[in-house]
Structure 1
Amino acid sequence: MSTHAMLDTVYMSGEVQPLRVRLIDCGRELLDEGGIDAVGLRSVARHAGVSHGAPRRYFPTHKALLAAIAASGFAELSAELRTAIASETDPVARLRQIAYRYLSFARTHRTLFELMFRHDLLEGSGEDLRQHSKPLFETVAALAADAGAADPHVVALNLWTQLHGVATLRATRSIEVIASDIDADGFVAQLIDLHLKARG
């Protein structure tokens, strides 16, 4: 399966429903403005200008609403990653572009990014968010294999966990305490080169 096809699987969500999409968009706006606590079925309905009961047609529970918002985040991230690698042919260059865009997305959409990986909060929502993140992981593993990594899945796991750690530390401004002048692009390039040194 091509890297584009892997990222495409995130979009297989069925029929587009305008009001459902509108409610998710309103939920994301509330999330940006006030964090996770600001997003509720009633607050989303009020923000969208619909009746309080309208959201329950699509989201029977609060968790279902939050999970749908998180899923929309994965769809947006996947679209950005597809755009990032579209003009690149070299697998190492593609890995770097994915890493840059991943960190950029996490910084631009801090609360959404946090929600996307709050599996503890979203457990029982009916939306298996782990299946949304799997195509992203498989894409990184496939590119690592193309780049000559001896164990692509181990390389992909190492890269993702370290990138996610950096993204989380930057979101909470923790990394600025010890490395305020960090060159993110340079760091990413070094990180990828380090993990690709052992090639088959």
Structure 2
Amino acid sequence: MLDTVYMSGEVQPLRVRLIDCGRELLDEGGIDAVGLRAVARHAGVSHGAPRRYFPTHKALLAAIAASGFAELSAELRTAIASETDPVARLRQIAHRYLSFARTHRTLFELMFRHDLLEGSGEDLRQHSKPLFETVAALAADAGAADPHVVALNLWTQLHGVATLRATRSIEVIAGDIDTDGFVAQLIDLHLRARG
């Protein structure tokens, strides 16, 4: 069985290639465009090849979502490393989160479709929970009285902004918002109740 493919001058593990092709199809046509046969065709392999790694359509989608969480985690680590002040770190990760959502709109949507991915065999909580714990740790460092409550408030509000912006709903209500200013106000609001 073929375990690697030769693409653009490099040898790539087939599983990675299939996930990359799935992400490309996701970007081009949304979740409905990502099927096992479509990914195989896009990767240039037999239609049965993806089943070796992804026994179901959900398993493929979950692997794509997991790759998104890995990429988002790396971006947030970079954001944290760029600052030393805890509040500045929170602002940085908030901006990176919103930027990731804007840049990878369909991937971002898939990553949080737990209803769609339930039963996929991939424990996506192992990818999303550490992100939440990172936000809670930063909130604690910034002096939040209840870091987990602050983290949950920040995450849900940022996710709401990302979702509303993706559908252009936020523009209807608020016009062009100053994202930097909004994020700063949001973080300051939740950190005011410091212990």
Q: CA deviation at 1:17?
A: 7.7
Q: What secondary structure is seen at the aligned counterpart in 2 of 1:7? A: coil
Contact 1:10 1:135 in 2 (8 A): no
Contact 1:67 1:127 in 2 (8 A): yes
Q: CA deviation at 1:180?
A: 1.8
Q: 1:147 and 2:142 equivalent?
A: yes
Q: Kindly indicate which of the two structures has a greater share of residues assigned to strand.
A: 2
Higher relative contact order (CA 8 A, sep 6+): 1
Unaligned runs of 5+ in 1: 1-5
Contact 1:31 1:111 in 2 (8 A): yes
Moved more, 83-92 or 69-78: 83-92
Q: How many residues align?
A: 195
Q: What secondary structure is seen at the aligned counterpart in 1 of 2:96? A: helix
Contact 2:6 2:12 in 1 (8 A): no
Query: How far apart in 1 are the matches of 2:137 and 2:193?
Result: 16
Contact 1:10 1:74 in 2 (8 A): no
The percent identity for this pair of structures is 97
Query: How far apart in 1 are the matches of 2:27 and 2:60?
Result: 15
Q: Do the aligned partners of residues 93 and 7 (structure 1) sit closer, same or farther apart at CA in structure 2, a change above 3 Å counting?
A: farther
Q: Do the aligned partners of residues 134 and 15 (structure 1) sit closer, same or farther apart at CA in structure 2, a change above 3 Å counting?
A: farther
Which digits, 9 at most, give the CA deviation of each residue in 1:88-142, with x for residues without a partner? 1111000000000000000111100000000111111001112211001000100
Contact 1:41 1:52 in 2 (8 A): yes
Q: CA RMSD in A?
A: 5.9
Q: CA deviation at 1:49?
A: 0.2
Residue 26 of structure 2 corresponds to which residue in structure 1?
Answer: 31
After TM superposition, the score normalised by the length of structure 1 is 0.91
Q: Do the aligned partners of residues 122 and 163 (structure 1) sit closer, same or farther apart at CA in structure 2, a change above 3 Å counting?
A: same
Q: CA deviation at 1:21?
A: 0.4
Contact 1:9 1:135 in 2 (8 A): no
Q: Do the aligned partners of residues 119 and 125 (structure 1) sit closer, same or farther apart at CA in structure 2, a change above 3 Å counting?
A: same
After TM superposition, the score normalised by the length of structure 2 is 0.93
Residue 120 of structure 1 corresponds to which residue in structure 2?
Answer: 115
Which digits, 9 at most, give the CA deviation of each residue in 1:55-103, with x for residues without a partner? 0000000000000000000000001111111121111000000000000
Q: What secondary structure is seen at the aligned counterpart in 2 of 1:17? A: strand
Residue 187 of structure 1 corresponds to which residue in structure 2?
Answer: 182
Query: How far apart in 2 are the matches of 1:10 and 1:132?
Result: 27
Q: CA deviation at 1:177?
A: 0.3
Query: How far apart in 1 are the matches of 2:30 and 2:93?
Result: 26
Which digits, 9 at most, give the CA deviation of each residue in 1:35-54, with x for residues without a partner? 00000000000000000110
Q: CA deviation at 1:15?
A: 18
Q: CA deviation at 1:18?
A: 1.0
